[in-house]
Structure 1
Amino acid sequence: MQTLDIILILPLVWGAYRGFRNGFIIELCTLAALILGIWGAIHFSDWVAEYLVQQVDIERKYLPMVSFALTFLGIVIAINLLATLLTTLLKAVALNGINRLAGLVFGVVKWSFLLSVLLFLWRPVQEGSLDWPSRADRQQSVLYEPMASLAPAFFPYLEELDWRSWWEKEFDDVKRDVEDTLKEL
């Protein structure tokens, strides 16, 4: 086992631990809360903003940020309350062990997918100026290639996107911003 494999396995162990500790219901609902919270805040924060304008004296410049945050938090809290209720129900009917084992598996799968997306997004940087982890380390690793190919296998359109241009543009923007800031000093 290579150092790269150890680096890749640590988040998976963390995911397994968290999944077992929280159980499948909490793990699934936490992920759903994040996704639905962002989606809901994007689509419904205007309604919250209208309500806030009528009920609270708030400066207009802060209104979009406050309404987005309140909508996001409201959705996340509601889903987490539902998850807690369902977990309590599973404990009451003696299905907590199954919930925990399923949570362990889900935690590993969730973190595997997250790592795969990160490795996929990092690939253009590796092919460009920064060869880290090195090509030799990637080839010797047992986990790197299966992990890196997981997200593209589920979402083949990722391969068609031009991530290299995006990364180069982002790095150029950051470099320009830093140079501008240094000029101002």
Structure 2
Amino acid sequence: MNIIDIVILISLIIAAISGFMKGLILSVASFVGFFLGIIVSFRFAGSVQQILMDLTGSEGRYLYFIGFLICFVLVTLVVHFIGKAIEKAVELVALGFLNRLTGAAFGVLKSLLVFSALIYALAYIDPDKRLITLEQQESSFFYQPLEKILPSVLPFIRHHLEEIDEAITPGGNTRPA
């Protein structure tokens, strides 16, 4: 076990505790809300920009950014409140501990995916392995298994992102040129 493993292990413990405290439902809601917020914001920020231009009589690319933020905040809040409502229903039927336990597992899985993405990005920006040497990678307990996670799930992610994109874009892209 080397320093890479220690950092990963500490992060996984923190993720498990955080996931346990939030529970599965709120953890998934915040995860989904973040990504759905980004996707919806890119699709509808142009429309919101147009509304803001009509309301204020001003023009400018900063209105696109404001439109993006408005969409993002609205989507993440809606998903959060839906998650809260579902969580309350789960607590009413006495599944609160199961929600927290699975939240811990989700937190760990999410962290594993983040570490895999970091390793994937590191391989791209440091092909000569100067930041983390080949010896460090090979002696690490976690590095090589984590290296394989993102490439395994990317096709699944891409497929579902395309489905979401098609579902929320009936009239085409609304981003400004």
Distance 1:3 1:122 in 2: 16
Q: How does 1:73-92 map to 2 (within 5 A)?
A: 73-92=73-92
Q: How does 1:67-78 map to 2 (within 5 A)?
A: 67-78=67-78
Question: How far has the Cα of 1:41 moved from its partner?
Answer: 0.5
Q: Which runs of 5+ in 1 are unaligned?
A: 158-185
Q: How does 1:5-84 map to 2 (within 5 A)?
A: 5-56=5-56, 58-84=58-84
**How many pairs does the alignment contain?**
156
List 4+ stretches of structure 1 deviating above 4 A.
none
Contact 1:113-1:150 within 8 A present in 2 as well? yes
- Select between 108-117 and 55-64 the one with higher mean Cα deviation: 55-64
Q: Which runs of 5+ in 2 are unaligned?
A: 157-177
TM-score, normalized by length of structure 1? Answer: 0.77
Q: Which has the larger radius of gyration?
A: 1
Q: 1:63 to 1:31 in 2, by over 3 A?
A: same
TM-score, normalized by length of structure 2? Answer: 0.81
Question: How far has the Cα of 1:40 moved from its partner?
Answer: 0.4
| Aligned alpha-carbon RMSD (Å) | 1.8
Contact 2:21-2:100 within 8 A present in 1 as well? yes
**Match in the other structure for 1:118:** 118
Q: 1:12 to 1:58 in 2, by over 3 A?
A: farther
Contact 2:48-2:64 within 8 A present in 1 as well? no
**Match in the other structure for 1:178:** none
Question: How far has the Cα of 1:57 moved from its partner?
Answer: 5.2
Query: % of aligned pairs identical?
Result: 24
Contact 1:20-1:104 within 8 A present in 2 as well? yes
Q: 1:58 to 1:93 in 2, by over 3 A?
A: farther
Distance 1:18 1:146 in 2: 23
Q: 1:51 to 1:156 in 2, by over 3 A?
A: closer
Question: How far has the Cα of 1:156 moved from its partner?
Answer: 6.5
**Match in the other structure for 1:155:** 154
Distance 2:61 2:151 in 1: 40
Q: 1:37 to 1:136 in 2, by over 3 A?
A: same
